[in-house]
Structure 1
Amino acid sequence: MSACPVPRIADCFHDLVDPRIERTKRHQLLDVVTIALCAVLAGAESWVEVAEWGEIKLPWLRTWLKLPNGIPSHDTFGRVFSRLDPEQLEQGLVRWARLLATEAAGADEPTGIVAIDGKTVRAARHPGQRAPHLVSAWSSANRLVLGQVAVDDKSNEITAIPRLLRQLDLTGQTVTIDAMGCQTAIAAQIVAQGGDYVLALKENQPDMLRDVIDSFALADPEHQTTTKEKGHGRLETRTCRTIDDAAVIAWLNPTGAWPGLRTIAQVVGQRQIGETCVQHTRYYLSSLPGDAHAIAHAVRSHWGIENQVHWVLDVAFREDGSRARVGHAAANLALLRKLVLNLLRADPTRKVGVKASRLKAGWDDGYLLHVLGVTLAQ
């Protein structure tokens, strides 16, 4: 693999294993990845658009990439990314996210909420097969995507989440996961990695759910906080109650199957629009102390992955319409989108939205290099 003039691409993706046969290689793997990343940053949303952007920008790209055989075809981009091991590309995303998080914090990566959640890329489904499902980790402290793993065809999020957690430094972090991840083994892994957890509790843990509901019916919650939000014609009220009484927790967790369990929480939400009022109640298990404000903050922060990541990927990147579906192409293209989202979120000079910033990167070569953190010699 040749040296790359973009230091962070070289640092973060230096150990990618080229899946191609040696005699078929006309383009360096790191060049293929670099062009694809730049094109997605500049607004490309398919391999055809990646190749077209490269052809238009070829004279400029040759000022800092050798490209002896020009720009790869869209078929080449598709083949390479369909065969490239996504776990290796995931490691590059994790490395770059750590660099950005460290810079944002000044020296140390900030503590905060790490939300784990899954998303299906619906248009990338093959007939007769399920659509690719990706599980991501998102930091509420700096709004960066910290990692991503693809769910295997014959498994589910329960097996994917531990792989994702292993990529992350959870020291001092609070991990939030929806009910699919409310598993004793996942709780144990989070605690073993130095983190805390707030896990949504639903019917997939029927005995624990029943006992927690009974606990709130029989015992007075020790801590409570209520928040109200008004806007867009609706009033939302959320009340978080917690119990961290040692006797109650011991009754719920007699064998210690839930490592670190200290608190159970009940969050009652009420949404009123005009005369219509809808109420729902959710329950949580947590290793945090029973501070209702802290639990409510973690629950509220978890929803950020929906509107700060999933929604942005659909609106600004049209991810749900992406038809990259062969092999690992969907997972790898999603990784490039998340890396671009991180780069734009980390840009302190950005004054417009993500979609407009991508357009700007497509129009202004200098801005594109700025976002990548590159200064070329004049």
Structure 2
Amino acid sequence: MICAEREFRTAPLIYYFRQIPDYRCGREKKHDLAEMLVCVTIGFLCGRTTIRRSLNWCRNHIEWLRKHLELKNGIASPSTISRMLSGIDEELAVYIFMEWIGEIVDSKNTHLAVDGKALCGATEKTKNADVPMLLNAVETVRGLILAQLPIDSKTNEITAIPKLLKLLDISGSTVTIDAIGTQTAIMNQIHEQGGHFVLTVKNNQPEACEEIHAVMDRLERETAKKKKGERLDPVLRESLKNYEEVSRTEKNRDRYEHRTYQICGDVSWLTKSQEEWNMVKSIGRIKQVRVPVERDKEGNDITPSLEEFLKKGSMRAPVPSAAEGTGKDIQCTAMISDLTLTAEKLGSIKRMHWSIENRLHHVLDDTFREDRSPAKKSRNNLALIRKYAYNILRLSMLEAGMTNIMTEMMDCFCDNAVLREQYVFQGITGLY
């Protein structure tokens, strides 16, 4: 007899919030801690992106909330919520968040992007105060946040990345990090945890960066000569057998984006591959040129070609600089990986990593107003509440087949009690 696979659902959200120890003494417990967290989360789900507005929404819907929560003393005040968020153990709160999302989506055998994000509004108003930072781990296939870790003002992302990776089971997964994560110790840790990496090489690794760009330039020229039937450089003949390049052009909003992905499986050109980086199997490069769309008075598209743009620029943009890291219209980024990749796969992985800027950072700042939040002592736990709401909204969008307009899904949660009950009080179906 063959048994059908059972559908797994998480426990209701309040179950996870009840695992957070209540640090308050008895006389202070007018409101239940877990119920307060649920109320704030629901408010954020419904588009009320400050504590005050979130609680106002809850007061206006208190009869519906009392179908699921006791709320013996009504809805707490904003100051009570702020004190509560300030007092909760941040590290334990992250573990509970990870337990919740870990029962919905697996961190194994997927693509994980690790990137830092500033909380500009939470900066202390003192001279030369550091902007608080959070390091996030994102499962890029579905755009879900798996973990966050505050970056201590006395350290930086290089020391925080290993701590974040230790929290996750990355076996079989491909981890992408910006150039700051291109460190031998981080590569070794990813390997020890059973994962793979695709990392950016910039001027923080000057020798490797220069070597990769130099060999890619030479292989690009040799490929052009090969297409013309010209005589090839015998020194590069073997490398050409392991070299591939792919070019793609697409129109994205008000610009044309021209991308070239290059990959080479011969890493003998990389000095560090013989020493510290002996796990590297592929070196590559991604070139991207953005050409702003131009139209004449009649509305006809008169955007210059890629070749014309690189030579003369355009009315909307000057001649771009080819130097790496300068200018927004042309970028040229060196890459390394411990995987044997195709050029197309390299481009796909890098684009998925870039997507977290639009799918996560922009949404948190623009939709959730995170960059404007003045919360300081409670900033990290408040950021975690936003991530609960963000993940629930993203999951509901996936199920509904909606586009990436998260504000529309917020409206749906605000207007639809059945949707709120399904995702907050009935548990969420796992995506395994």
TM-score range, shorter chain: 0.7 to 0.9
Equivalent pair of 1:184/1:259 in contact (CA under 8 Å): no
Match of 2:161 in 1: 161
Match of 1:106 in 2: none
The offset of 1:373, in angstroms, is 5.5
Relative to structure 1, the CA distance from residue 344 to residue 284 in structure 2 (aligned partners, 3 Å threshold; closer, same or farther) is: same
The code of the aligned residue for 1:37 comes to T
Which of 377, 381, 387 does residue 338 from structure 1 map onto? 387
Query: Unaligned regions of 5+ residues in structure 2, if any?
Result: 1-9, 219-235, 293-302, 311-319, 321-329, 428-432
Which of 43, 46, 53 does residue 42 from structure 1 map onto? 46
Report whether the alignment pairs 1:59 with 2:108: no
The offset of 1:369, in angstroms, is 1.4
The code of the aligned residue for 2:412 comes to K
The code of the aligned residue for 1:71 comes to I
Q: What TM-score do you get using the length of structure 1 for normalisation?
A: 0.87
Equivalent pair of 2:122/2:373 in contact (CA under 8 Å): yes
The code of the aligned residue for 2:122 comes to A
Report whether the alignment pairs 1:349 with 2:400: yes
Deviations 1:90-130 (A, max 9, x none): 2233222223226xxxxxx7733211111112122220232
Equivalent pair of 1:110/1:141 in contact (CA under 8 Å): no
Deviations 1:278-320 (A, max 9, x none): 4321101211114222211111111110111111222221222
CA distance in 1, matches of 2:11, 2:254: 49
CA distance in 1, matches of 2:291, 2:67: 59
Equivalent pair of 1:269/1:280 in contact (CA under 8 Å): yes
CA distance in 2, matches of 1:231, 1:366: 36
Match of 1:117 in 2: 115
CA distance in 2, matches of 1:23, 1:259: 61
Match of 1:311 in 2: 362
Specify the SS of the correspondent of 1:247: coil
Deviations 1:163-218 (A, max 9, x none): 22122221221111111111111111111111111111111122322333344355
The code of the aligned residue for 1:253 comes to S
Match of 1:130 in 2: 130
Which of 248, 263, 268 does residue 242 from structure 1 map onto? 263
CA distance in 2, matches of 1:32, 1:368: 16
Match of 2:88 in 1: 84
Equivalent pair of 2:112/2:137 in contact (CA under 8 Å): yes
Deviations 1:61-90 (A, max 9, x none): 222212222222111100111222222222
Equivalent pair of 2:46/2:410 in contact (CA under 8 Å): yes
Deviations 1:317-353 (A, max 9, x none): 122222222x1x2222221112212112212136473
Match of 1:3 in 2: none
Which of 349, 352, 363 does residue 301 from structure 1 map onto? 352
Match of 1:370 in 2: 422
Equivalent pair of 2:134/2:150 in contact (CA under 8 Å): yes
The code of the aligned residue for 2:413 comes to A
Match of 2:209 in 1: 209
Match of 2:282 in 1: 263
Relative to structure 1, the CA distance from residue 52 to residue 112 in structure 2 (aligned partners, 3 Å threshold; closer, same or farther) is: same
Deviations 1:24-73 (A, max 9, x none): 22222211211111121122222222332232222222222122222221
Match of 2:229 in 1: none
Relative to structure 1, the CA distance from residue 351 to residue 205 in structure 2 (aligned partners, 3 Å threshold; closer, same or farther) is: closer
CA distance in 2, matches of 1:317, 1:88: 24
Q: What TM-score do you get using the length of structure 2 for normalisation?
A: 0.77
Equivalent pair of 1:42/1:368 in contact (CA under 8 Å): no
Report whether the alignment pairs 1:30 with 2:41: no
Match of 2:323 in 1: none
Which of 316, 320, 323 does residue 374 from structure 2 map onto? 323
CA distance in 2, matches of 1:11, 1:213: 52
CA distance in 2, matches of 1:77, 1:164: 27
Specify the SS of the correspondent of 1:100: coil
Equivalent pair of 2:182/2:201 in contact (CA under 8 Å): yes
Equivalent pair of 2:13/2:425 in contact (CA under 8 Å): no
The code of the aligned residue for 2:284 comes to A
CA distance in 2, matches of 1:160, 1:332: 18
The offset of 1:363, in angstroms, is 2.9
Specify the SS of the correspondent of 1:303: helix
Query: Unaligned regions of 5+ residues in structure 1, if any?
Result: 1-5, 103-108
Which of 72, 75, 78 does residue 79 from structure 2 map onto? 75
The code of the aligned residue for 2:273 comes to N
Relative to structure 1, the CA distance from residue 51 to residue 88 in structure 2 (aligned partners, 3 Å threshold; closer, same or farther) is: same
Equivalent pair of 2:108/2:170 in contact (CA under 8 Å): no
Relative to structure 1, the CA distance from residue 367 to residue 39 in structure 2 (aligned partners, 3 Å threshold; closer, same or farther) is: same
CA distance in 1, matches of 2:207, 2:400: 51
Equivalent pair of 1:90/1:147 in contact (CA under 8 Å): yes
Identity rate, percent: 31
Specify the SS of the correspondent of 1:101: coil
Larger Rg computed on CA atoms? 2
- Greater mean deviation of Cα atoms: 119-128 or 205-214: 205-214
CA distance in 2, matches of 1:280, 1:308: 21
- Greater mean deviation of Cα atoms: 73-82 or 204-213: 204-213
Match of 1:185 in 2: 185
